[in-house]
Amino acid sequence: MPSSASPRARFGREVRTTAVLAGPLVVGHVATGLIGFVDSMIAGRHGTATLAAVSIGTAMFWLPIMVPMGTLMALPPSVSQLDGGGRRHEIGALFRQSLWLAAALGLLLFAFMTLSVHALAPLGIVEGIRPGAAAFLHGIRWGVPALTLYYCMRYLSDGLHWTLPTMVFGFGGLLLLVPLGILLTFGGLGLPEFGAGGIGAASAIMMWTQTIAFALYLRRARRFADLGLFARFDPPRWASIRELLRVGLPIGVTVAMEGSLFIVTALLIGRLGEVPAAAHQIAINVAALCFMVPFGLAEATTVRVGHAIGGGLGVAGARRAAFAGLALVLATQSLTGVALLTGNELIAGLYTGDATVAALAASLLLLAAAFQFPDGIQVLSAGALRGLKDTRVPMLLAALAYWGVGMALGAGLGLGLGWGPRGMWIGLIAGLAVAALLLGLRFLRSSRRVAPTSGTVTSGA
């Protein structure tokens, strides 16, 4: 980029670079969100009880998986800083250590989910939902080790500014899930009807297929040949794994706290019965699908901020990357907000033929429209902070916003005052708004500590 270019021209180029980088990420994340959409559509057509069971099962699946998913998010900024700083030859060894970390996290999560079905009754989930939720968890848990390895490989590719595989493998998995999910849920071709358990098993098969395909791609693609990703066997090295955990574990906790705000909301609403649980599942699935857009932009911003730091572009480069991502987020969130406001009834009707469930879901989608801007701003700010490898203080700020404000207010309104699902969703809006403010201010402060040319961030709270 020529140094003589005006600030406006440099910003415009950064916006275009971020958009090109984020495009496949967004599409890939939308494909991931459509997996939940497909699961919910299949479950909804199977019956309200199945939809409610998948709602609870999905919540209990994503609650623990967010910690390893977020922890492995240490890989994109680490890779992008090495790449930007001319240390590409170090990436292969880092990747092999991240595989050890991903495998260990996957096995721990498999064991945890095996035991999690015993928590359904203590959590107060109504008796009619428990068998289906347990069957879903028993099926999908087999895909957990594959999923953590998949994230590891995906984050490597993303950190090297090559995001197309995220899109391709995301939609490839979706194309497999649709027929497989229908077959295992409703039965056919000599197979019995598995209901919610069939949806879980189909998801696990899809995860292993995606992971094996991604590994074969990384091994054979010329783009990664110089990295020697699978050139040799490296035993676990604690120093490298510890550094990944130092940066990544606070990210994992932060992601888990945000996600668990939604997930625990689902579990609490599950105490109110099948209709509220099913309506919430529809609304939260649509909201999650919308979230994939700013989430993809945030991941691209992480890579761009990390590349600016590694390339020694200083405060100006880091902030330019972050503000370019912010401009894109504001534009896309405007579109999704309008879509939810004007199409809430139509969207709800796609999921279920139950008029009572559809009406409640449509009202919740209006509240989902209200948190599009704060949700986009807070996830973008968190992504920019990851690019700076500033993760510990943001973790504490997230805890305050998501739980000190969001969950406390939501539980108070929804359960304490009897407002039901609508009260819980008002709490979500408040928590996301506070997170957007705190994390945005944190980035402005942290980015001031970027050394002008060294490509480092000075210490300090």
**Predicted confidence (pLDDT) per residue in 94-110, tens digit:** 899 999 999 999 999 99
**Which residue is listed with tokens 């590694």?**
310
In a domain, 6, yes or no: no
Question: Does some domain include residue 302?
Answer: yes
439 located within any domain: yes
The residue type of 210 is Q
CA atoms within 13 A on the CB side of 220: 6
Residue 460 has what pLDDT?
Answer: 47
Compute the distance between CA of residue 311 and CA of residue 28 in angstroms, rounded to an integer.
28
Residue 459 has pLDDT above 60, yes or no: no
Are residues 241 and 326 in contact, defined by beta-carbon separation less than 8 angstroms?
no
Give residue 304's domain range: 15-447
For the stretch 399-429, pLDDT in tens is 899 889 988 898 888 877 878 777 888 888 8
Lowest mean pLDDT: which of 136-140, 248-252, 307-311?
Answer: 307-311
Quote helix, strand, coil % in the chain, to nearest 5.
Answer: 85, 0, 15
pLDDT at 33: 67
pLDDT of residue 2: 46
Confidence of residue 331 (pLDDT cuts 50, 70, 90): very high
DSSP letter for each residue of 394-432: HHHHHHIIIIIIIIHHHHIIIIIS--THHHHHHHHHHHH
Q: How far apart are CA 94 and CA 222, in angstroms?
A: 19
- Percentage of the chain with pLDDT > 90? 21
Query: What is d(CA 232, CA 198) in angstroms, rounded to the nearest whole number?
Result: 39
Digit-coded pLDDT (tens) for 122-180: 877 777 778 888 889 988 999 999 999 999 998 998 888 787 888 888 888 888 988 98
Average predicted confidence (pLDDT) for the chain: 84
Q: Can you tell me the mean pLDDT for 254-273?
A: 74
**Count of C-beta atoms within a 10 Å radius of residue 227:** 20
Residue 387 lies in a domain: yes
Question: Which pLDDT does position 103 carry in this prediction?
Answer: 93
Inter-residue contact 61 to 113 (CB < 8 Å):
yes
The total number of structural domains that make up the chain? 1
pLDDT at position 451, please? 57
- For the cut 90, the answer to whether the pLDDT of residue 208 exceeds it is yes
160 is a domain residue? yes
Cα–Cα distance for residue pair 261/406, rounded to 1 Å: 7
Within a domain: 460: no
Identify the weakest region by mean pLDDT among 31-35, 63-67, 135-139. Answer: 31-35
Neighbouring C-beta atoms of residue 180, cutoff 10 Å = 18
Report yes or no on 371 lying in a domain: yes
**Residue 232 has what DSSP assignment?**
S
Q: Dump pLDDT digits (tens) for 345-398.
A: 888 888 777 888 888 888 889 888 888 899 999 999 998 998 888 888 888 998
Please report whether residue 2 resides in a domain.
no
